[in-house]
Structures are given as structure tokens and as C-alpha cells.
Amino acid sequence: MSRRLAIVDDHELLAESLAFALSQQGFESHVVAPSSPARVLAAVAEVAPDVVLLDLHLGDIESAVPLIEPLREKGARVIVMTGETSRAAWGACVEAGAAAVVTKSAPFDELLERIGRLASSDDALNRTERVELLEALRVARHDERVRLDPFRRLSVRESEILDALIDGMNAEAIAEASFVSLTTVRSHIRSILRKLEVTSQLAAVAMAVRAGWTSPHRHSGR
């Protein structure tokens, strides 16, 4: 039975509450502050837990999915805790190697009971649940590819100009900021509209926002 746990969560009160409550159930619980991925991995290695309770969203670290495989390589089973309701997001955790995913939206006593049961079991996620979550992830990725496919037709410069339009800049401002002629910018805009099969800049911007598109060439300072 797994008895040593590491709790990685940027909500200090919840982490400490879980650690205390789990200790009453006989678990040796250690809270790890998620200051950076490297420090999380180093702290977990020092604790050497059987199980890691990992919050899916860790503040500045954002998604904890990339931490799942390195944590597993250290010999720990990973149980992801999250307020995220997307089944595709849960599927991404399972694909990365999580033993189970639990929702934080449950009352604390239910959350504690489920974590305690999962931490004590070697078979946290049944095959049906695993297949369903992975299928939700597959569907979500397919839908994303369909939504974003038109934007892959854009050149680097066209992507940058569409990004600027989304930020509220007009053609004149883009030309001035880019040190190119207004004629050149307008030519790029016409090409963007043609490739996206829309008839106006407003429609192109709306399409990008609905699709959740961001330029892969976006400048870090903007």
C-alpha cells in the first residue's frame, strides 16, 4: 500500500489541509511548493513518494501535464487534481501517464476519500474510463486541427499582420510599426482574407478569435 505522498499544488491552504487530513489516515504527506518545474522535480526526488498528488494548473508553471512523465520516471504514481471539467484535458493527463484524475469540485470529504482510495490502489483508473478520456482527447485534437487549418495557409508575415489586427491595429499603424509601405500591408491583408475565405478584416479577426488562434510568430514583447 502506498503511504508516502507528495502534494504539488499552488493553493497552499488546500495542500496543507489535504496533507493534514491524509496524515490522519496514516499517510506520510509532504507539500511541495510549485515554484518552477525543476524545483518541483528536485523536491519530489528528495521526498521519494509513492504517489504524487499533482494540481493540473500551477500558477506561473501553467499546465502540469509536462511534469507527469518525469515524476513517473522517479518511481511515483501521479494522481492529477483539477477544477478543470474538460474531458479532453483529463485525457491529456492520462495520455501523459497519470494513474487517475480527480475533480476538486467535489466536497472536501469526498475529495479526501477518493484520493485516499486511489493512493492505496494500484489500479486507479479502469480501462473503460481510460478509453473514454483518450477518445475525448482525440476528438478535441481533431476539432482543433479543423478549426486552425485555414490559418496554416498564412505566411509568417501574414500571421504577424493578422495578429496585429486582432490587437486592434489598423493597416496604417501596422505599416508604420513594421517600417513597410501601406500598400504592402494592404496587399498582405487581401491575401489573408482570400486564404481565410472571408470578405473583411473584421470577419478575419472574428474567425481567429472563435478558433482560438494565436500567431506562432507572435513577438514575446507584445
Q: How far apart are CA 23 and CA 82, in angstroms?
A: 21
Tell me what the pLDDT averaged over the chain comes to: 90
The angle at the Cα of 45, spanning 39 to 49, to the nearest 5 degrees, equals 120
The rounded distance, in Å, linking the Cα atoms of 60 and 64 is 10
Q: Taking a C-beta distance cutoff of 8 angstroms, is the pair 118, 124 a contact? A: yes
Q: What separation in angstroms does the CA of 147 have from each of 49, 107, 200, 210? A: 41, 37, 19, 9
Radius of gyration over alpha carbons of the chain, in Å? 23
Higher pLDDT, 1 or 18: 18
- What CATH number does the domain located at 154-211 have? 1.10.10.10
pLDDT tens readout for residues 147-183? 999 999 999 999 999 999 999 999 999 999 989 999 9
Q: pLDDT of 9-20, one tens digit each?
A: 999 898 999 999
Tell me the whole-structure pTM to 2 decimals: 0.75
CA dist 211 and 39 (Å) reads 35
Dump pLDDT digits (tens) for 51-80: 999 999 998 888 999 999 999 998 899 999
What is the three-class DSSP state of 78?
Answer: strand
Cα 12 from Cα 93, distance rounded (Å): 22
Query: Do residues 161 and 218 make contact, with C-beta atoms less than 8 angstroms apart?
Result: no
DSSP letters spanning 82-103: ES---HHHHHHHHHHT-SEEEE
State the residue for C-alpha cell 490587437: 167
- Asked if 177 and 138 count as a contact pair (C-beta separation under 8 A), the reply is no
The pLDDT value recorded for residue 127 is 83
pLDDT of residue 148: 94
Query: How far apart, in whole angstroms, are the C-alpha atoms of residue 42 and residue 184?
Result: 52
pLDDT digits (tens, 9 = 90+) for 188-215: 999 999 999 999 999 999 999 999 998 8
Is the pLDDT at 2 greater than 60, yes or no? no
CA-to-CA distance for 200 and 2, rounded, in angstroms? 60
Rounded Cα distance between 80 and 93, Å, is 7
> How many C-beta atoms surround the C-beta of residue 30 within 10 A?
19
Parse the chain into domains and list their residue ranges: 4-142, 154-211
pLDDT-derived band at 221, boundaries 50, 70, 90? very low
Architecture field, domain 4-142? 3-Layer(aba) Sandwich (3.40)
Cβ–Cβ under 8 Å, residues 67 and 54: yes
Nearest to 59 by CA among 23, 8, 96: 8
